[in-house]
Each structure stands twice: as structure tokens, then as C-alpha cells.
Structure 1
């Protein structure tokens, strides 16, 4: 094992535990990544030394907490290369961020005769808000389909995105297919038709460098728990001129400028969208996650994950009876591999792997329209992170062969 990878693994205490008397091999990173000690300590430090509410008190702890909280906003701005920290809204997660856009910008700007375009590979978080908006507004929801290589069909996108389109919503990386979508090209198509693009970046941030300005994204959403941070914290990036025109999503404390008996005026962005006491500890943990990622290096993370896929994918393809989903070209994939084994239900396969201490995900992955398109009800998904190793990949491969042989013998 690479010495640097061992040092990284040592900072994740959970990787030392056993599952069913076997060393834990955690391959469900697309759902939730693990947290390093540095992130846990940063959150604990907040609780033990300067815990207070933000934007409210004039006392010392309140001012410290507020200063720290707002400094993280600037760090996030720099991390995703936004233009201003006022374009960074803290939310409870990627789902919350996407619902915010649908229920503010969408409600405000979608009118009869308009169209909304999404891809068929979207996670339900980036489908249901638009589906429900389309139903409320009685407008058409159109799907960009897959091409023959099970990637986003850019030619179909050019047909679906028209002058009637007002919103294009698409994931930068599919949580099932592992394909990396051409966001900049889609953004340019959207803008040529006077539409905005909303990007689900949950599977991209923390895996490779994301530059929202270069992508020409109008809105970009991601979650802390998929990038070595805590649960319950997320980010919505939005172009400042768009955020300023949008109505607030929730009403309450701290998102107001003034309240009278007759009405209220709203605080400037981003506070306008952050009603109530925020997840301050989560924001502090998000900073810790960014610090960890920047310490390791996004180039190193991307290269390590790519090396693992380069190693695993050709070998796993040689196991007879396995069907894979997504592009076959490894350079076009993220660190996600979804597959099914002939004659074995995905849940049974995942359970059998769990008996060996190998944690993978089985199910529809909150992407049921995609499952229907693929002609399956569910798949098994293995997703790799910086702390996974070639040795763990070998154990996955050998376990799949053993499980296949066991079930074949049982069925005879």
C-alpha cells in the first residue's frame, strides 16, 4: 500500500473496524463518505470553545462564531471558484438546495407554455422538484435520453432544449452510471435559448476541481456528507443577480431587514435564504472537509480514484454473468461502478458482500426512471474514494467470483 494512502486511511478511525469479523471495506462513498479525525475535531472545537448563535449576539462568543461562520462562506466561494461569497447559500444538503431553486426561481419564472428539461439519469432530488413544478404550472417536462454508450445524448439535448425551455437541470456526474456530463456545453445550449442551468454537483465536488464560472452554471448544489464532511449541511451556489431577484424560501429570524405589523422586507443575499438558526457546526465541519481535500489535493484524489477504476474495471468485466451500466470508456467515468449478476438479486449480492465486510449499495439509487430505461429494477453499486486501496479492490473481485460460484452451486 502507498505510504501516503496509508497515512490518509489512518485519519479515518472507522476504517479500522470489522464487519462480520472481516476488515471493513467501505465502497458506498457515492452515498456518504467517511469523516476524517480532523473534521470531527474541528466540530468538537466549536462546541467546546466558542459555541454560540450567529448574526445575533454582541457578546464575544457570538461575534467569534459569526466571524468563523462567515469565513467558511468565503472558503466555499474559493473552493468552487465562485465570484462572490454572497453567491454561497448554506442549506441542509443538495436536496434542500435544489428544492430551494425550484420553489423560488422556478415558481417565479415558469409560465404557461414554458418547458423544463432534465436528463433521464437524474437522482430524484433533481427530478421531483422539477416534476412537481411542471405539474403545478401545467408545463411540459422533457427528458434528455441516453446514447448507445449509456452517456447523456448531447444530440438529443440539442433537440430538447429549445426557445421554450426555461430551466435545464442535470447532474454533473451520474450517481448510477458514473458518467461525467458535459455541463459547459449544456449550459451554453441553455443560455442560447435564454434558459438557466441548475447543476446537481453531489457526485462531483470533492472528487475533482469544480469551477462554477468556467462551467457557466447558474445554480450549483452539493452536500457536505459526500465530501468527507458532516451530514445535514449543503451549499447552493447561485449567480448573485439571480439570487437577488428570487423570493425567500423560508420565513423567520435572521432573513429579514425589517418587520412591521403590516409586512416585512428581506435581508440581502445570502442571508435572505438562511432563515432561523443555521447548522453552524455543520458549516464548521464543511470547512474541515475542504481543508482535508485541499491538504490531500484534488489532483491526487482524482488520480487515485482513476487508478482504482483503471485497475478494477477491466478485471470485473471479465467475470462472466456480470452486466455493467454506464460508459465503457474508463476516462469518461467517475469512481462509480454499477452492475448486476445474472441470477442473483442485487440485494442478495450486496448482503453476501456484506458478510465479507464489503459495504456496497444495492437498490434503485433514487433514480427509478433511469432504472426503467436500463430495463432493471435495481443494481449493485461500488463507489471508491481516496482511502480505498488496490488490495480492497482485489477482495471485491475475489468475493464476487466466490459469491457467483456459491449461488451457481446452490441452484444446481
Structure 2
């Protein structure tokens, strides 16, 4: 039996409008804004345009905003002086204004804390003398190290940088933090066997490869209040290896997630390119669904929500039409996962959440990758 647009709209308003709880935080609805790098912060400082960018989407009904990735206080963390940083007096003052504006608009907000690791090239800003660092000095697809394999001091410094950024987030008024452990960046470089060839306690089997991430989570947990939410974003795929996998079976995935949950993760943000794809054989559960089943923690799904077409192609301007939300709503009704993060559709249409929650599907603006540079 076919489902009418009006029926889908009514279901969306009911299912997505429910509040969600992440540790001590109550999010007003089930819609999150996915982190999207924009490079609109010269000197790493978010200005008034960044304040209005996030406040506009909070005012339009986004329940939880996850900011674009922000560099932690480690010189090797980034590759651009236009990506915001989450350290420094001026930078944190800018972020405090963002948090205040989102709260005034009725939303909640967490910064995504980020270290890119071996994605960095020698000479990149904002600190051109800093080396690229990683578990083994390997970039994705390399057999020979072209960067620095991290020493114990390096590991301790980065762990401390994440913990200090989390403490700063709570101090200046954010509602929690998200740790970027996905897409082939530093934390993920430790999780994935393709880039982690270490033979010490931080390399080897999946549990050992999780140690660095778990130590970051534990250090963050120690520096923030017990009810302050800690979200961990992870993925199987990498930016330069779409077919990469951390885990081939649910058992392997559980071995990775369990130490993170024990260390203090309150919610997992399971990044996939297409949320509707089953993660393992013999089950319809996607990655977020398996995450919730295996850990019992809040799970956030993401991946081409509200779009049709492949992740990469959409950014190249190919085939990015609006897609159906019926499958998403079916999964949320079954409690497969708790929240849904929306990226490109929300970037294109700042009022996406308001329209969906009100059942105004006919007013949604189709995604147009060519218009990305003009969006605010």
C-alpha cells in the first residue's frame, strides 16, 4: 500500500518531535545538525557570521547542533588557518557567542573536537612547522611512513589537548562535546588496522587499537561534570577509502565499542554514507542500529538523509534530489536508533527541520551542490 505525502508528514511530526536525552542533556527533538567543515573562521576565530549561521538553524527547529570540526590545542591538529580552533582566548570567546546565540534560539549545541593526524601535510597552516603525526606515520594507502609515529609524550599531549578542549566547552556554556573519531582522522587512524601498525599497547588487535580513543574519552570524562554529555563519532569508511571497515562482524564491532562505552561515552554518532544500508549480513540494522544494540547507548544515525544519490557525487553536483523519509521513520519507530543527523539538506535549507516537523514537505528546498559557496 502506497504512503501519501500527508501521512509521511504526520508521522515525521510525531516521531521526530519527541525529546531525546543524552546523559544530563534533554534535546528538544530528534533532529541533529551534522558537522560540516566550512573554513569561514579566519585565524581560527568564529565570527558573527558563524554565530548567525548556527543560531539560524537552531531557531528553525534543529534540536542538537554539532559544530563543524574544531581543532584541539595541538600544533599538528589541523591544516588550515580558516578552520575554527577550540583553544585560545579569542577563539573561545567567539565560540561562547555561538553557544549563547543557539541557546537563545531554543537549541542545544556541542563542539566537535578534532585532530586530523596524518591527513596534514608538512607546511600546512595554522602551524606550518608542525609535523604530520599518527599511530605509525602512515597515510591511507601508504606502505612507507611519511609522517611521525607518535611517541608516548605525543600521545599524552594530544589526550591532554582533547581533555582541555572539553573542559573549555563546559566552561563557556556548551551542552556537551563530540569527539571526532571517524573518516580517517587521527583517532580513527588508531582504530583502523590500515593505518595502525604499532606493536606496543596501542596497536595489534581491535581492543588494543581502541586504547588511544578510550584514554581520550576517559581524560575528557575526568575533566567535565558527570552529567556533561560525551558523544563519540566513528565510521567504517574513510575519506580516501570508502570501502574500509573497522569491523567485519557484530562481534568485532562490539570489541571496539565496549571499551569506549566503559570509558565514558554517552552517545555514539555512527557515520555512514547511506543510512539505509545494512551494516552486516543477515540483519537490516544499520551501523547506528548495531551500535545501540551492542552498547545500549544513545545512537545517532547519519548519511544522505533527505537526499538521493551517493555521498561523493552529491558534493560534485550529481543526483542530489530529495529522498523519502519513510524508511528513516520506520527505523525510528522500531527504536533502531535515537536521533538523526542531517547535513547537506540542512545546509541547503536552514528551515529544513521546521518544515519537516510541521509537515511542510512541499516547501523543502532540493539540495544544490553548486550553491554551497553562497549558503549561510
Shared fold (TM-score greater than 0.5)?
A: no
Which structure would you say has the larger Rg? 1
The structure that is helix-richer by fraction is 1
Report the TM-score when normalising by structure 2. Answer: 0.31
Report the TM-score when normalising by structure 1. Answer: 0.28
